[in-house]
Chains A and B, each alone.
Chain A
Amino acid sequence: MPSTAGRFGPLISARLRDQRPTNHPFRKASVTSTDEPDLASIRADWVGRQFDRTDFDVGVDDMLGWAEACGETDPRFVDPDHPDFQAHPGFTSHLVSSRVLPEGFPKIRGRGIDGGKSVEVHQAVRAGDTLTGTATIAEVYDKTGRSGTMVFVVQRMEFTNQNGDSVATVDWKMIRNRTISGGDGES
């Protein structure tokens, strides 16, 4: 499985608190970029587009290791002999597509931050399952606050098992944090 830590590392958010001051020297350079399409056209071109399909084998050791590491005590998750033995609810959140974003997806400027993951469980994941994850761009939007604008790109992984049953949906909010461009008194 490829590492995505460099691009949208799960813990880059560690630096979210340290917003760049408005006079940061990097800021000016970032606001002069004019080659980025607007979000409406990115949405029109990319939202809903499926861009990756990856298979994952679910092993009992990983299911157990995950649940035990998280301090789980319910035998459904930590006893492989339990009749309802299954993966922990968030288990699919670590199964990442071979590409984070589609080939040719516009480069959105700003610092990469991991905004978090949302898992929707439709059906239990069992030992020995082969899951197929299909990745789409689910949403592209921005939010503006005191410190500037953050652009959100939501990657959605839909997982089905070997029987074709839908088992989970994982949304991954990837954030580009940037300052408001233009006309804000920057000197």
Chain B
Amino acid sequence: MRYDDVELGDDLPTEHPDISMEKITQFVVAANMNFPRFTDHDFARTEGLPGALVPGIMSQGLLAAMIHRWAPGCQVRTLDTVFRAPLVVGTTPTITGAVTDTDDDARTAELDLTVVGEDGRTAVLGTAIVAFAD
């Protein structure tokens, strides 16, 4: 995707990222946040949660990876996320993006982003500003 090909309202290709326990474990080690609420379903349930949870900032990473596939070589300038509901490890979420604004001078696009759990609830809402490689 090049900037000149971007249209307001374009949807990014929807993805269903892998949030298996293996991936979450890899993430929490890299992010130095290896807490059992992220890696142990039984422990998380004792905290009143529906199961081990995907860290909110990992959702940012899933969204960024989707953006990089959509516009290879782009730079994500800002990524703003609101954590709305739990996303349980081992489920199948759906992540989406749509172009909500463009800036011809800066050659950037603004995106609305969502992470929706397999129960249909929106787990994360976000926006991003992306600068295109060409």
Contact = CB atoms under 8 A, between A and B. Distances in A.
Contacts of A116: 56, 80-83, 124
A18 B53 CA distance: 17
Interface residues of B, number: 45
* Shortest beta-carbon contacts, A-B, top 6: A70-B61, A65-B30, A69-B27, A118-B80, A90-B60, A89-B76
Contacts of A90: 57, 60-61, 64, 79
Given A11-B37, A65-B27, A88-B61, A74 B83 contact: no
B23 interface: yes
Name the prevailing secondary structure of the B interface residues.
Answer: mixed
A114 B84 CA distance: 9
Interface stretch (B3-11, B67-75, B100-108): B67-75
Given A69-B24, A115-B83, A10 B33 contact: yes
Contacts of B65: 67, 70-74, 88
Question: For the complex, would chain A's binding face be called helix, strand, loop or mixed by DSSP majority?
Answer: mixed
Contacts of B97: none
A88 B97 CA distance: 18
Interface string A113-138: 01111111100000000000000000
B18 interface: yes
20 contacts: A1-B32, A5-B33, A5-B35, A5-B37, A9-B37, A10-B33, A10-B57, A11-B38, A13-B85, A14-B53, A14-B85, A69-B30, A71-B15, A71-B18, A76-B73, A90-B61, A90-B64, A93-B60, A94-B32, A114-B56
Contact of A61 (B18, B30, B64): B30
